[in-house]
């Protein structure tokens, strides 16, 4: 069973500048079926002499049957790109772009209501699924190995850290999902936890949260009643002083509920195994599932 992506993924990449082109090359090397690119002024050309490039997402979907889109366009244009891909009928959109204005995301989330499209991000590392050789985003493929641990995280770099630790202990990953660190984003912890719970190819889950907001508390509520699989969790920013922003736009302590201590207590009370440092994620998972 696939979580978000799988063997039937037909990838459209919007924004084939420096970063988009580099990551598209890495994704194709890994094995993803990239069927289209979208980049203004380059319609009719081919990416790496193989993948057709179109002027619009709708044309690309009509011509290639793309069903998953990834966005690398600059922040001022990211909202328009998301809406363009929604209108093109894509099932899943992964927005890697960071620094997308909050007001733009308010409009995007309102536009998504009632639509079939699921959004991951913005400001996220994307998705990787080793069993299907599908990479949508910027997660390094060389640290991933096929296994049965699902990973969901707000932090990009700590997603990589968790993956590397799991692989180091020989456990490997089923699917890894970076949901993004911005205050407003699409898919939530709870959404992905539900997918992992229902996925027969996932035996246990790693969750990496941050200070700021109450998303981890919502995840804890779902874990308490809706997750039967072991969950290893880590919360980043435990030493952040009140009112201090720590890296991500969403990682700011804005009240008691946003504190790391509150999130840790909620997750522990829900039955998750919370480690004191992300450095112990792999070891804790090894001890849980052998």
For the chain, state the CA radius of gyration. Answer: 18
Q: Do 11-120 and 139-289 show the same overall fold?
A: yes
Domain 139-289 has CATH 3.40.50.261: yes
pTM score of the predicted model: 0.92
What's the burial of 1, exposed, middle or buried (CB within 10 Å: 0-12/13-18/19+)? exposed
Which residues are identified as catalytic? 248
- Digit-by-digit pLDDT tens for the chain (290 residues) are 579 999 999 999 999 999 999 999 999 999 999 999 999 999 999 999 999 999 999 999 999 999 999 999 999 999 999 999 999 999 999 999 999 999 999 999 999 999 999 999 999 999 999 999 999 999 999 999 999 999 999 988 889 999 999 999 999 999 999 999 888 889 999 999 999 999 999 999 999 998 777 789 999 999 999 999 999 999 986 655 555 555 555 545 455 556 777 889 999 999 999 999 899 999 999 999 87
In this structure, the dihedral spanned by the alpha carbons of residues 128, 131, 132 and 138, taken in order and rounded to 10 degrees, is 20
Q: According to the model, what pLDDT value does residue 181 have?
A: 85
* Structure confidence at residue 246 (pLDDT): 52
Q: Specify the CATH number of the domain 11-120.
A: 3.40.50.720
Return the HEC string of the chain. CCCCCCCCCCEEEECCCHHHHHHHHHHHHHCCCEEEEECCCCCCCEECCCEEEECCHHHHHHHHCCCEEEECCCHHHHHHHHHHHHHHCCCEEEECCCCCCHHHHHHHHHHHCCCCCEEECCCCCEEEEHHHCEEEECCCHHHCCEEEEEEEECCHHHHHHHHHHHHHCCCCEEEEEECCCCCCCCCCHHHHHHHHHHCCCCCEEEEEEECCCCHHHHHHHHHHHHCCCCEEEEEECCCCCCCCECCCCCCECCCHHHCHHHHHHHHHHCCCEECCCHHHHHHHHHHHHC
**Which are the contacts of 238, defined by CB distance < 8 A and separation ≥ 6?**
211, 260, 261, 264
Residue 183: per-residue pLDDT: 85
Return the pLDDT at 23. Answer: 98
Structural domain spans, the chain = 11-120, 139-289
């Amino acid at each position: 069973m696939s979580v978000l992506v799988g063997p039937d993924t037909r990838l459209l990449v919007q924004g084939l500048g420096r970063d988009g082109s580099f990551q598209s090359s890495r994704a194709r090397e890994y094995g993803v079926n990239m069927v289209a690119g979208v980049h203004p002024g380059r319609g009719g050309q081919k990416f790496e002499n193989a993948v057709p490039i179109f002027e619009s997402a709708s044309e690309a979907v009509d011509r290639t049957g793309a069903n998953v889109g990834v966005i690398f366009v600059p922040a001022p244009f990211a909202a328009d790109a998301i809406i363009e891909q929604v209108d093109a009928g894509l099932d899943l959109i992964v927005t890697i772009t960071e620094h997308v204005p909050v007001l733009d995301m308010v409009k995007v989330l309102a536009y998504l209501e009632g639509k079939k499209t699921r959004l991951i991000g913005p400001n996220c590392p994307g998705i990787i699924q080793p069993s299907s050789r599908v990479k949508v985003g910027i997660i390094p493929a060389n640290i991933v190995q096929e296994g049965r641990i699902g990973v969901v995280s707000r932090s990009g770099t700590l997603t990589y850290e968790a993956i590397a630790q799991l692989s180091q202990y020989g456990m490997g990953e089923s699917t890894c999902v970076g949901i993004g660190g911005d205050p407003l984003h699409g898919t939530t912890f709870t959404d992905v936890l539900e997918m992992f719970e229902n996925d027969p190819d996932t035996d246990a889950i790693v969750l990496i949260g941050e200070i700021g907001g109450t998303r981890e508390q919502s995840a804890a509520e779902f874990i308490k009643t809706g997750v039967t699989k072991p969950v290893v969790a880590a919360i980043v920013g435990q030493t952040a002083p009140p009112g201090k922003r720590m890296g991500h736009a969403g990682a700011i302590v804005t009240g008691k509920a946003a504190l790391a201590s509150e999130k840790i207590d909620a997750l522990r009370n829900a039955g998750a195994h919370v480690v004191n440092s992300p450095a112990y994620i792999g070891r804790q998972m090894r001890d849980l599932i052998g």
